[in-house]
Copies of this chain bind each other. A is one copy, B any other.
């Protein structure tokens, strides 16, 4: 079985497809590899299809005219991105960049469109995907509207802990390398403020800082301070 096929099969969206459909799909896809820190697509690029991340990690972001940038999402293996091309928009509105060495499968527009028409399971899957991402953006919007810079940062740390947290002797270590600038770009703040707030949280004993590394030592207190139930670390990796 081709590598490509395997990745397609392992994607939630296509799980329900028949072997024939899968092979047909596979034959129409292209695979590309991207080194670390290289762009996959840029704003105003031609939106030629939907992308499936096979390996690596991708970040989706957006620039303002003044050059400031925000990170909209991180994509993990098995997840789909660039899905706005399904809306019929001819151009991409954000950029995608490989954070790690990544391999990506491109599913051309006509192929996915056809699949959408034929397979209720795929179309249902896409609807769910859109809905989920929309919920996420809406939540983020609310945080931006209502909460202080500090609250937003704490909330982000908790979210990251849910997704990337690994329990250690000291506490929950975030297994994703993010600079203060990155954190700032996510919560819509500045590098300096993030540095300061993180410093405060450290002196308050809520976390420990390393270079591009954060360990949350008091999740309960952090979660409580932003009125969120302390998350149970569901899929903590070894």
Q: Which residues of A contact B (CB under 8 A)?
A: 62, 64-66, 68, 70, 72, 84, 86-87, 93, 116-118, 120, 123-124, 126-128, 130-135, 137-138, 140-142, 144-147, 188, 227
**Of B72, B86, B130, B145, which one neighbours A144 at CB under 8 angstroms?**
B145
Contacts of A142 in B (CB 8 A): 62, 64, 70
Q: Roughly how many angstroms separate A48 CA and B188 CA in the complex, as a whole number?
A: 35
**Of B118, B131, B140, which one neighbours A86 at CB under 8 angstroms?**
B131
Q: Roughly how many angstroms separate A141 CA and B185 CA in the complex, as a whole number?
A: 13
Contacts of A135 in B (CB 8 A): 84, 87, 93
Q: Roughly how many angstroms separate A21 CA and B87 CA in the complex, as a whole number?
A: 26
| Selected A-B contacts with CB under 8 Å, 25 pairs | A64-B142, A64-B147, A65-B227, A68-B145, A70-B141, A70-B142, A70-B145, A84-B135, A86-B131, A87-B135, A93-B135, A116-B127, A117-B120, A117-B124, A120-B120, A120-B123, A123-B123, A123-B124, A130-B130, A134-B137, A137-B138, A141-B141, A144-B145, A144-B188, A145-B188
Contacts of A123 in B (CB 8 A): 120, 123-124, 127
- Could you tell me the dominant secondary structure of chain A's interface residues? helix
Q: Name the distance in Å between A62's Cβ and chain B's nearest Cβ.
A: 6
Contacts of A133 in B (CB 8 A): 134
Q: Name the distance in Å between A234's Cβ and chain B's nearest Cβ.
A: 18
- Nearest B residue to A137 by beta-carbon distance? B137
Contacts of A132 in B (CB 8 A): 87
Q: Roughly how many angstroms separate A128 CA and B118 CA in the complex, as a whole number?
A: 16
> Given A68-B146, A142-B70: A131 and B87 within 8 A (CB)?
yes
